[in-house]
């Protein structure tokens, strides 16, 4: 089992039906326990350390701000691996706070985390 995870997913790369569901962090914790590999495309350096601590795994990508591509079936590809599912972990900030570009966000500015599970739907004729 492999996990694709980031702090956001570029909507311009959704070119086929997807099902997006908000889920509890416990579900991702269970997936992490079963995962063989975690593929991170985390692009926000200001939250990566805190998010890694929340999940108990290092979310540092192999390269800085890696770009997801689509294969011929319009599925996301990262580091040559094709995925049919993606996890998006995003911080909730304390009321009234908006992070500034280039300024690191401290843990005291994060009030919690939201998790989305994005699944690419099988299309007719696919196996």
pLDDT by residue for the chain (127 residues), tens only, comes to 899 999 999 999 999 999 999 999 999 999 999 988 999 999 877 788 889 999 999 999 999 889 999 999 999 999 999 999 999 999 899 999 988 777 777 888 899 999 999 999 987 777 6
- In this prediction the pTM is 0.88
Euclidean distance between CA atoms 118 and 110, whole angstroms: 23
- 30 Cβ contact list (under 8 Å, min separation 6): none
Within-domain flag for 126: no
Q: Decide if 125 is inside a domain.
A: no
Task: Give CA–CA dist 91/108, Å, rounded.
Answer: 12
Residue 81 lies in a domain: yes
Which CATH number fits the domain that encloses residue 41?
3.40.50.11170
The count of structural domains within the chain is 1
Contact by Cβ (8 Å): 113, 92 = yes
What is the torsional sign of CA 107, 31, 116, 5?
positive
- Domain of 56 in residue numbering reads as 2-120
Task: Please give the Cα distance from 62 to 65 (Å, whole number).
Answer: 9
């Amino acid at each position: 089992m492999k996990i694709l995870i980031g702090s956001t997913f570029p909507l311009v790369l959704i070119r086929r039906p997807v099902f997006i569901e908000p889920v509890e962090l416990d579900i991702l914790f269970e997936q992490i326990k079963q995962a063989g590999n975690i593929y991170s495309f985390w692009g926000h350096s200001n939250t990566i350390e805190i998010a890694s601590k929340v999940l108990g795994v290092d979310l540092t990508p192999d390269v800085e701000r890696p770009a997801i591509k689509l294969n011929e079936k319009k599925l996301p590809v990262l580091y040559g691996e094709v995925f049919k599912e993606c996890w998006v972990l995003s911080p909730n900030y304390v009321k009234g706070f908006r992070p500034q570009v280039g300024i690191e966000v401290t843990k005291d500015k994060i009030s919690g985390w939201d998790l989305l599970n994005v699944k690419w739907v099988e299309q007719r004729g696919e196996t």
